[in-house]
Structure 1
Amino acid sequence: MLLTVTHTTRYVFTEAVTHGLQRLRLRPKSTHGQEVLDWTMDLAGARVEAEYEDQNHNHVTLVSIEQGAEEVVVTCSGTVRTSDNNGVIGMHSGHMPLWCFLRPTALTKPGSKVRQLVSSIDVDKGDTLAFLHALSRAVGQQVEYVPGQTDVGTTAEEALAAGKGVCQDHAHIMISAGRLVDIPMRYVGGYLKMDDREEQEAGHGWAEAHVPGLGWVGFDVSNEVCPDDRYIRVASGCDYSEAAPVTGVASGGGDSHLDVQLSVAEKVLGGQQQQQSSGTGQQ
């Protein structure tokens, strides 16, 4: 499938910025299941200082905010060819050893709720793939998809206790639970083509588990599927904080307001468009 993406991130400051740096993880990479055919990034109010790969093999663009800027606009657009591999990404690569994806983080540290969730799954934990599918279903059943109830700082334990959240929370809960039974787990941020609209409010997030014999396998709890050719992977990490599209610091600027405009569509070839499916956005 050919997918086109246009993603604009706009920060508006109430006062002029005196100094600022931002790390942008907005450029997908060609990997198993996707080929980036073209990708551009345009900046207003900022300039590129460096580009590099981080510890999770993500492409990072380091930009500085122009002194006196009251607005920063980052616009990315491109075309990605995707394929359906039943969620299988393949063998591990990058700079981080697998054992790093067993460690709890601030967002995925398990508590009593996550431990109860794992104990409630009546599937042989030695059958890793069967356990993960059962875990994905259990998280979706216990945490209703309700936007606006959580934020980027909500932990897996908090979201599970509340019983409400979005795709980021679903992924963090699954990651937290999987690590309890010694399965390397990571968070993935990217894009999902939705069937009812091209315009979206944000990107999407899901979990990946390292399964013996298969390597990394994706699980989208919110949509009850393993990622297919509707998905574009952009960045991954031990939790959302390591895969966030934009992180950084700024001096001055006063308060800031963030506005995101995102369009993900299938590129039509020969006048026909492939069948579309549903999806949900990420906070």
Structure 2
Amino acid sequence: MKLKISHETVYRYDQPIRNLVQSLRLTPSVFEGQKTHDWQIDVSGGIKGPGFRDGAGDWIEGWTVRGPVDHVTVRISGRIDTRDMAGVLRGHREMINPLTYLRDSPVTQPDAALRELAGSVTETDPLALAHGLSLAIHERIAFRNGVTHNGTTAAEALALGEGVCQDHTHALTALARLRGIPARYVSGYLHSTIDGQAHDAAHAWAEIMVEGLGWVGFDAANKCCPDDRYVRLGSGIDANDAAPIRGVAMGTGAEDMDVMVRVEEIAQ
């Protein structure tokens, strides 16, 4: 599939800030399932610093904005060709030992309910087990906007029974780790939902280390594995670790943020 992506994040401050330093993980991953063309990243008033590929294989760029400024806009645009790899992350180069992803973070710490749910999946084949864990989260956490927030934990989302893709992904990685399987959080974009409806937002899913296959993606929110509608940006222990934009603003004003993401299919 040929996709065109536009992504704009605007930060506004009620008092001008003196300086802003950002780390951007906004360049698509390099693997057999996607090939990037004409990818552009721009930060209004920004000075681009050095870029590097980290141990997880993600491309990181540093940007600095010198104030005083009362707003900063981060714009991304580009084209990408995607292939359906049945969720398998083939050809992706990284140096981190997969066992690193057995570690939990505060938002994925399991409670008794997560432990019980992890133990309820009875499949023994590694791939079937991963699918079973993803299905368990899909059935226990309904997709609903506005009921959780960035700091909602996997345990809280399971207790609530509702959440967004971030919550599904945190809960799924928690279940996999409880079963002794490395799992990580993936950030990216999704062209449409499984029923074909437009999905104009950033998206998240999990990757689980499956014996004999390597890293395999599972989108518990949409009850599927990533296909050619998905664009992978990067990964981490949790949403904060895999965040496309991380930064520090120097100033005393409050910050407000607006995000616009559009993923369009280009005619073949």
- Whether the aligned pair in 1 keeps the contact of 2:16 and 2:68 (CA below 8 Å) is yes
C-alpha separation in 2, matches of 1:254 and 1:216: 42
Judge conservation of contact 2:33–2:90 (CA < 8 Å) in 1. Answer: no
C-alpha distance after superposition, 1:262-282 (max 9, x if no partner): 11011012xxxxxxxxxxxxx
For 1:27 and 1:192, how far apart are their aligned partners in 2?
A: 15
Cα distance between partner residues in 2 of 1:11 and 1:67: 13
Task: Please show how residues 88-107 of structure 1 align to structure 2 within 5 Å.
Answer: 88-90=88-90, 93-107=93-107
Deviation at 1:80, TM superposition (A): 0.7
Matched, 1:69 2:82: no
CA contact under 8 A between 2:47 and 2:64: conserved in structure 1?
A: yes
1:12 to 2:12 alignment: yes
Aligned-partner Cα distance in 2 for 1:219–1:110: 19
Structure 2: unaligned runs, 5 residues or longer: none
In the other structure, the counterpart of 1:250 is 249
- Identify the residue that residue 120 of structure 2 maps to in structure 1: 120
Distance 1:103 1:236 in 2: 14
What's 2:228 paired with?
A: 229
Q: Does 1:170 align with 2:171?
A: no
Q: Is the 8 A contact 1:91 1:215 kept in 2?
A: no
Partner of 1:261: 260
Q: How does 1:116-155 map to 2 (within 5 A)?
A: 116-121=116-121, 123-124=122-123, 126-155=124-153
SS in 2 for 1:226: coil
Secondary structure of the 1:172 match is: helix
**Deviation (angstroms), 1:4:** 0.7
8 Å contact kept, 1:190–1:205: yes
The one-letter amino acid paired with 2:140 is: Q
Using the aligned pairs only, state the percent identity: 40
Aligned length: 265
Q: Distance in 1 between matches of 2:91 and 2:177?
A: 18
SS at match of 1:115: helix
What is aligned with 1:211?
Answer: 210
Residue in structure 1 matched with residue 154 of structure 2 by the alignment: 156
* Counterpart residue identity of residue 125, structure 2: D
Please, what is the CA RMSD of the aligned residues?
Answer: 1.4
1:222–1:66: structure 2 CA closer, same or farther, 3 Å change rule? same
Residues 138-164 of structure 1: CA deviation (Å, up to 9, x unaligned): 111111111111112111111111111
Residues 130-188 of structure 1, C-alpha deviations (whole Å, 9 max, x = no match): 11111111111111111111112111111111111100110111100101111110110
Distance 2:244 2:222 in 1: 21
Give yes or no for contact 1:45–1:71 (8 Å, CA) kept in 2.
no
The answer to whether the 8 A contact 1:110-1:176 is kept is yes
TM-score by length of 2: 0.95
- Tell me, what secondary structure is at the counterpart of 2:60? strand
Letter in 1 for 2:29: K
Question: Tell me, what secondary structure is at the counterpart of 1:15?
Answer: strand
Structure 1 residue runs without a partner (length 5+): 270-283
Mapped contact 1:8–1:76 kept (Cα < 8 A): yes
Following the alignment from structure 1 to structure 2, what is the Cα–Cα distance between the partners of residues 19 and 162?
39
Partner residue in 1 for 2:198: 197
Aligned partner of residue 55 in structure 1, secondary structure:
coil
Distance 1:30 1:38 in 2: 14
TM-score, reference length from structure 1: 0.90
Q: 1:96 to 1:152 in 2, by over 3 A?
A: same
Q: 3-state SS of the aligned residue for 2:158?
A: helix
Indicate the SS of the match to 2:234. strand
Kindly state the Cα deviation for residue 92 of structure 1 after the two structures are TM-superposed.
Answer: 6.8
CA distance in 2: counterparts of 1:34 and 1:225, whole angstroms: 18
CA distance in structure 2 between the partners assigned to 1:150 and 1:53 by the alignment: 32
The answer to whether the 8 Å contact 1:25/1:59 transfers is: yes
> How far has the Cα of 1:253 moved from its partner?
5.1
Q: State the Cα distance separating 1:91 from its structure 2 match.
A: 6.7
SS class of match (1:174): helix
Aligned to 2:38: 38
Closer, same or farther: CA 214–136 of 1 in aligned 2, 3 Å: same
1:208 is displaced (CA, Å) by 0.5
User: What one-letter code is carried by the residue in structure 2 that aligns with 1:23?
Assistant: S
Query: Which one-letter code corresponds to 1:42 in the other structure?
Result: D
